[in-house]
């Protein structure tokens, strides 16, 4: 039987899949997720029950909070000793790229910065 927490978490995931901002807000308001950007990034990286398109849209947001969560999300990936193609495949497997060029640019820039840190 599902606990109350599991029911709230399931509802939060559904809300996220329809509107990522409202989903994160719902999960933090119900204390299922802290407002810590690292924790939100790990939640998105784990991706359990989350729509990959919704993850991409959320991470591509231009709000400073979204950008910091994007950087934390990229840091969840381990790119050390991977060639560029392998690292890019791993990164792109965790979400679906949004259609907007500016969002894609922010995401690829965050990827490139982290890849270079992992492979000096």
**CATH number, position 104:** 1.10.220.20
Residue among 70, 63, 112, 67 nearest 95 (CA):
70
pLDDT confidence of residue 76: 96
pLDDT confidence of residue 55: 96
Read off the pLDDT of each residue in 11-24 and give the average, rounded to a whole number: 96
Q: How many residues does the chain have?
A: 120
21 part of the active site: no
pLDDT confidence of residue 18: 97
Alpha-carbon dihedral 99, 101, 106, 112, rounded to 10 degrees: 90
pLDDT at 2 over 80: no
How many domains would you assign to the chain? 1
| Structural domain boundaries, residue 78 | 4-118
Residue among 11, 33, 24, 99 nearest 63 (CA):
24
pTM: 0.91
pLDDT confidence of residue 68: 96
Read off the pLDDT of each residue in 65-90 and give the average, rounded to a whole number: 96
Q: Which of 21, 31, 48, 100 is catalytic?
A: 100
Please state, in angstroms and rounded to a whole number, the distance separating the CA atoms of residues 56 and 79. 19
pLDDT at 1 over 80: no
């Amino acid at each position: 039987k599902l606990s109350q927490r599991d029911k709230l978490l399931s509802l939060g995931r559904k809300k996220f899949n329809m509107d990522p901002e409202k989903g994160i807000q719902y999960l933090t308001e119900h204390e299922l997720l802290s407002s810590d950007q690292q924790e939100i990034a790990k939640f998105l990286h784990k991706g359990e029950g989350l729509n990959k398109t919704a993850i991409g849209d959320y991470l591509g947001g231009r709000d400073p909070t979204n950008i910091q969560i994007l950087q934390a999300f990229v840091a969840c990936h381990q790119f050390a000793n991977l060639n560029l193609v392998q690292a890019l495949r791993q990164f792109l497997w965790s979400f679906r790229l949004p259609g907007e060029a500016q969002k894609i640019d922010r995401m690829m820039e965050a990827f490139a910065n982290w890849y270079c840190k992992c492979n000096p």
